[in-house]
Structure 1
Amino acid sequence: MSGAEQTPRRAPRASLGSSEGDDIFGTFDVGVARRFFGWLKPHKKAIFTAQLAVLAAAACQVMIPKLTGAAVDHAVAHDTAGLDRTLAIFAGVAVAYAAAFFIGEWLSARLAQRVIFDIRRAMFAHFQDVSLSFMDKTHVGRIMSRLQGDVNALQEFLESMNGAIGDFVTLIGITIVLLATDLKLGLLTLAVLPALIAIRAVWLPYSKKSFRLARDASSTANSALAENINGVRTVQESRREAMNFDLYKVKAFENFKAQAGASWMTQIMVPTVDVLTGLAMAVVVVVGGEAVLGGRLEVGVMVTFILYVNRFFEPVRMLSMQYTVMQRAMAAGHRIFEVLDVPVTISDKPDAVVLKDAAPTVEFRNVTFGYDPKRPVLHDISFTVKPKEVVALVGPTGSGKTSIIALAHRFYEVDQGQVLVGGHDVRDVTLDSLGRTIGMVLQEPFLFTGTIEDNIRYNSGASRERIIEAAKAVSAHDFILRLPEGYDTPLGQRGRNISMGQRQLISFARALVADPQILILDEATANIDSFTEQAIQKALKVLFAGRTCMVIAHRLATIRDADRIIVLQQGRILEQGSHDVLMQTGGLYSHLYTSAHASFDDQVVAQTGDAEFATRT
């Protein structure tokens, strides 16, 4: 199948934190559980050892009340030798319990950390690969909720999972010992269990609803918080602090009510179990006391029953809490796998070729594209950028300029037609080689936390001398040396501790160090003052030398020296040619350039251009 025939569609727009994902809160899914426990396979040895330790601790717990009762009987009978022997065994069991409990808890925590590390790494790696069409419509707050809240819920479940197994084994062991010691008293003691089962049957539906509401409210509050933190500059510029606080206060209060309701549903089982413990204890005291007074039951047996009753309902209480943890973990597992199952639509074909020694050309052949395929933003676009040619893309906002450069870098797949780089369809080449071939400088550069040197070097592995050389070429060297630590100056988040113009100069240096064959500038001089722009224009000549370049610009004066100018309007090519040719043509470009307006985004001029376009077509 040829490249032209291959037009894979963008993946369905899944929504993180959708209602579908939240409705499954608290339900048990065998498929999710199987996938979740699949992460444990590489740690089989640690799991086996931890479970062995937990089972040993549970066995010791079951033995201790029995030994205590035996010690009481020996004391009552004044059997010193038997008492000493029982106390020695008791001490050994206590030491064994402490050691087994420590080993089990330590291994469980360590195992949980390892598994969570693997899951976080897998999610982070997947987020690096998913297509931009998915990231465009996914809220950052919901992504962070997956990486933090949901993963933490799994960690909590993993850390307590072995403890739950130990609690269950302890329950079984206590039940067997109670019935074996005195069948009648054992059955009377366990008679409260049907009441506990009935109460839980009524409690479960309400708890699921409460937990689901709490998770929804938490996700909404986190999303609102992330949005306001990311947009704090705009918030402060427009003085919306008070209004945003009021809006967030509503969401925070809803989260508070939902979390309080979930907490209440969790804690309601604690007094319930305590009441049932009291009832079981009363049965032992009344029935067992009468048996002791009547000589039908030894004192040690009654003591044993009292201790077992206390220990029996503690695992019941812990398992009730563990069920809540399991509900959260199951919901978290659904959400995490929802993320990991997002298809990577932009990926290398099995037979993808490496772009190497190919002519640095960019060609669009009858390209139609829309972020929503039902609403195209580009219509039948065709043009070719020749080797070492500088082509400028101009047009009003929404005309499709940024979409064109996004398709050239294969951030999205075309709906129809082909995009070729170096004579190869971008779908037929490796993404790594395409990324090395094409360099981009955006209107608002993104700088990462680290030093200036690290940001200029980024992914190139360049030497310090090469970095300084590139900084000098783009007029960044002088201002860098004026900083407290020069090239070792640490940058804050997104480089906010230096000016926008300085950030842009660093991004120019980064592009020069990367040395791509094809360079794309997306309004890269828009945020630079006039004085700095003069230096940048000189630097651009160095940057453009020997490279194929595509430049997006709104200010027409900045691209008059381009080899060719492509004028876009409403996703179509209106006209193209050099500055002199377009001026002679007398079309839209000529009208805008000779008018008092310097930008395609001027509303009055854009309307005039539309009128001219209409009369000419």
Structure 2
Amino acid sequence: MTRLPVADRAVVRRAARDLLARDRRAVAIVLVLHGAAAIAGLAAPWLLGRIVDEVAAGGGAAAVDRLALAIGVCVLAQGLLSRYAQYAGHRFGERAVARLREDFVSRTLDLPVSLVERAGTGELATRSSVDVTTVGTTVRDVVPVIVIATTQLSLLYGAIFLLHPLLGLVALTGLPSIFAVTRWYLRRARPAYLAEGAATAELTEALTTTAEGARTVEALRLGADRIAHGTQRIGQVWATRRATLALRSVFFPVVEASYALPIAAVLLIGGFVMPRGMVTLGEVVAAALYLQQAIDPLDRLLQWTEQAQRGLASFARVLGVGQEPDNGSRPDTVASAAHGIPEPRGTVSTAEERLVVRGARFSYADGPDVLHGIELEVHPGERLAIVGPSGAGKSTLARLLAGIDAPREGVVSLGGRPVTDLPPAERRRRIALVTQEHHVFIGSLRDNLAFAASGASDDQMRSALAAVGADWYTDLPDGLDTQLGDGARELSAADAQQLALARLVLADPHTLILDEATAALDPTTARRTERALAAVVSGRTVIAIAHRLNTAHDADRVAVLEDGRLTELGSHDDLVNADGAYAALWRSWHG
């Protein structure tokens, strides 16, 4: 499995600033409200100290009542301000998370298909669910808490200094140990949490692939092997979580022990200097109460610092997806009067449609070559069938022609330019690959078709369905508005293939590569669909990976692949007369 990259600290800092800058007004409101709530919270300890001094000076009940009433007003004001501050903070957080999810989906869809396949479903699933959720929690809950706690602590310690500078200095005695252990923790937390996220992704991948291949696992009696594989991944997750737990087991006890030290020191020093008239009893009491009040924001600040490390590590993983090459955007389309379907924007000359393969060699990862020096030229408007036994490299060649993978040696060019060097949006507009694996998205039939051409009208969509022989759509209860997918109408494999072909008709690329695109259809329906599709895409270049030799019979030329090598190339009649590998396949096909 190929791991997607992780953004570095500089990228994370810039992205965090941008996230806050996109909603400056909301951030300002949250800060103002929390600041006002923190200031209102400072009044109660100071007023309580005043009460102590009033009582010590022989003040009457009226003065105490006035001060007590003032404390009640300040507590009420603090509660109201905190409530509206949290409300505004959560609204900001939810908007920020929504934007983050949208940006993540856009970046994911822009990734090269080959990279997504190598990364695996577990990696992307973990980043899109666990990591995005963790970042959401950080933005919605952690960031406001850190801002609030920092503001409160600054005001509380400032208030102690205002009571008396000596008490302020004594109040700082617990901070050195907190600072030291926090610094120690932060240096180790990021790599530890990144390792935990990577281990979680591998576990998700293991569980997902096992669940998806459950029937195969059962048929081949691979249950014990898959359990052992999953147990190993669980062990990796447990090891990484133990590592982060070890960091927390040092961090939190040291912090907790540092809370009581300044309170004891203030009471001790205050008791020592109070008889000398340097401070009053009320000031000592107020300082101790301020320090006691500081425990809560300090505790929240340090606790959420741990969560912030998780959030920053997850943010780095989420942003890492965006560091892959930009795949551009989907092409705009305009109406085509000829077919009643969208036409690609702009025109492409015949020379620019020539697809040429020169000396192409390809291997997966570090494995052996599966294609060996392929030489092939596909003429514009030609119908080329690629045939051969299973494992000959037909689908691999289709991926190279579509620009999904690049050859290890040699070049695959379109109009004289390497296909993989074309801007992704242009490549998608000019070349389309359809395989036998199709996905029906949750949504209406119209939504599923609009993926290929967002501006297509209902008539154009119906024409595309009719073009591929998808007669079943006329029986749908709500027509194009019929809901498809889980919990709604389920399409059969054959219907899903025709839906995919209808998308292809709407996209209307200049070169179509069909990798067993009608494999799920019965022979009669497949034949009818192929003929209907051929009529619609007349004049386009069509390359068909043929598992049924009737497709090869109708093609202008046939290319025969054997063991990754192009062994024969010519028309159907010429290859049958040559009595070679294709002729043997043809005789076998017809019994």
Question: TM-score over 0.5 for the alignment?
Answer: yes
State the match for 2:122 in structure 1: 141
Residues in 2 aligned to 1:483 and 1:64: alpha-carbon distance in whole angstroms: 69
With over 3 angstroms needed to count, the CA separation of the structure-2 counterparts of 1:493 and 1:501, relative to structure 1, is same
**Corresponding position of 1:356:** 347
Q: 2:562 aligns with which of 552, 564, 569?
A: 569
Q: Which amino acid aligns with 2:347?
A: K
Structure 2 counterpart of 1:40, from 9, 17, 20? 20
Q: Is the 8 A contact 1:393 1:566 kept in 2?
A: yes
Distance (Å, rounded) in 2 between the aligned partners of 1:419 and 1:209: 42
Deviation at 1:451, TM superposition (A): 2.8
Q: Tell me, yes or no, if the aligned pair for 1:363 and 1:384 is still in contact at 8 Å.
A: yes
Q: Which runs of 5+ in 2 are unaligned?
A: 331-343
Matched, 1:377 2:371: yes
Unaligned runs of 5+ in 1: 1-12, 599-617
Deviation at 1:137, TM superposition (A): 1.7
Identical columns (%): 26
Equivalence map 1:573-612=2 (5 Å): 573-595=566-588
CA RMSD of aligned residues (A): 4.2
The answer to whether the 8 Å contact 1:407/1:419 transfers is no
Are 2:503 and 1:510 equivalent residues in the alignment?
Answer: yes
Q: Which moved more, 1:305-314 or 1:580-589?
A: 305-314
Residues 167/206 of structure 1: CA separation in 2 closer, same or farther (3 Å cut): same
On the 8 A contact 2:557/2:571 being kept in 1, the answer is: yes
Residue identity opposite 1:164 in structure 2:
I
Question: What do the CA deviations read for 1:419-448 (whole angstroms, capped 9, x no partner)?
Answer: 235x88757876545544545432222322
2:49, 2:285 within 8 Å by CA — same for their partners in 1?
yes
Are 2:133 and 1:152 aligned?
yes
Correspondence 1:506-585 to 2 at 5 A: 506-540=499-533, 542-543=535-536, 545-585=538-578
> Which residue type is aligned with residue 155 of structure 2?
G
> Which residue pairs with 2:337 in the alignment?
none
Cα distance change of structure 1 residues 551 and 202 upon mapping to structure 2, 3 Å threshold:
closer
Give the counterpart of 2:98 among 117, 126, 139.
Answer: 117
Q: CA deviation at 1:488?
A: 4.2
- CA deviation after TM superposition for structure 1 residue 236, in Å: 5.6
1:59 aligns with 2:39: yes
Alignment partners' CA distance in 1, 2:196 and 2:399: 39
Q: Distance in 1 between the 2:198 and 2:245 partners?
A: 15
Q: Where does residue 444 of structure 1 map in the other structure?
A: 437
Which residue of 438, 448, 460 maps to 1:455?
Answer: 448
How much has 1:514 moved relative to structure 2?
4.3
Farther off after superposition, 29-38 or 124-133: 29-38
Q: Distance in 1 between matches of 2:426 and 2:11?
A: 38
Provide the residue aligned with 1:172 in structure 2.
154
User: How do 1:407-486 residues align onto structure 2 when only pairs under 5 Å count?
Assistant: 407-413=400-406, 416-417=410-411, 419-420=413-414, 431-432=424-425, 434-460=427-453, 461-477=455-471, 479-481=472-474
Q: Does 1:319 align with 2:301?
A: yes
Q: How many residues align?
A: 572
Change (3 A) 1:557 1:462: same
Assess if the C-alpha contact under 8 Å between 1:523 and 1:551 holds in 2.
yes
* Conserved? CA contact 1:130–1:346, under 8 Å: no
Q: Secondary structure at the match of 1:304?
A: helix
Does structure 2 conserve the Cα–Cα contact (< 8 Å) formed by 1:362 and 1:408? no
Offset at residue 224 of structure 1 (A): 2.3
Q: How does 1:9-24 map to 2 (within 5 A)?
A: 15-16=3-4
Task: Kindly provide the amino acid, as one letter, of the partner of residue 391 in structure 1.
Answer: L
Superposition pairs of residues 226-375 of structure 1, within 5 angstroms: 226-232=208-214, 234-235=216-217, 238=220, 240=222, 244-245=226-227, 247-252=229-234, 254-256=236-238, 258-259=240-241, 262-263=244-245, 265-266=247-248, 269-270=251-252, 272-283=254-265, 298-344=280-326, 355-356=346-347, 358-359=349-350, 361-364=353-356, 366=358, 368-370=360-362
- Structure 1 residues 393 and 152, CA, compared in 2 at 3 Å: closer, same or farther? same
Deviation at 1:585, TM superposition (A): 1.2
Q: 1:46, 1:385 → 2: CA distance?
A: 59
Task: State the shift of 1:392 in Å.
Answer: 0.7
State the Cα deviation string for residues 441-476 of structure 1 (Å, max 9, x = none).
322223222233443454334444444444445443
Give the conservation status (yes or no) of the 8 Å contact 2:387–2:558.
yes
Q: Tell me the SS of whatever aligns to 2:22.
A: helix
Query: How much does 1:84 deviate?
Result: 4.3
Paired letter, 1:134? L
Task: Give the distance between the partners of 1:207 and 1:408, measured in 2 at CA.
Answer: 45
The aligned amino acid for 1:301 is E
Q: Residue in 2 aligned with 1:395?
A: 388
Deviation digits for residues 235-288 of structure 1 (CA, Å, limit 9, x no counterpart): 465565565355435534653564466357436655554444445555556665
Please list the CA deviations of residues 147-192 of structure 1 after superposition, one character each: whole Å capped at 9, or x if unmatched. 3333333333333224323323333333343344355555555444
| Structure-1-length-normalised TM-score | 0.78
1:364: Cα distance to partner?
0.9
**1:507: how far off?**
2.5
Judged with a 3 Å threshold, the aligned counterparts in structure 2 of structure 1 residues 191 and 534 are, in CA distance, closer, same or farther, namely closer
Determine the C-alpha separation between the residues in 2 that align with 1:204 and 1:104: 29
Q: Residues 177 and 255 of structure 2 are in contact (CA less than 8 Å); yes or no, is this contact kept in structure 1?
A: no
Q: Determine if contact 1:355/1:433 at 8 Å carries over to the other structure.
A: no
- Equivalent position amino acid for 1:342 in 2: E
Return the match for 1:491 from 471, 480, 484.
Answer: 484
Cα distance in structure 2, aligned partners of 1:434 and 1:191: 65
The answer as to whether partners of 1:447 and 1:495 remain within 8 angstroms in 2 is no
8 Å CA contact 2:560–2:567 kept in 1: the answer is yes
Alpha-carbon shift at residue 66 of structure 1 (Å):
0.8
Cα displacement string for residues 27-52 of structure 1 (whole angstroms, at most 9, x for unaligned residues): xx456424432332233333333223
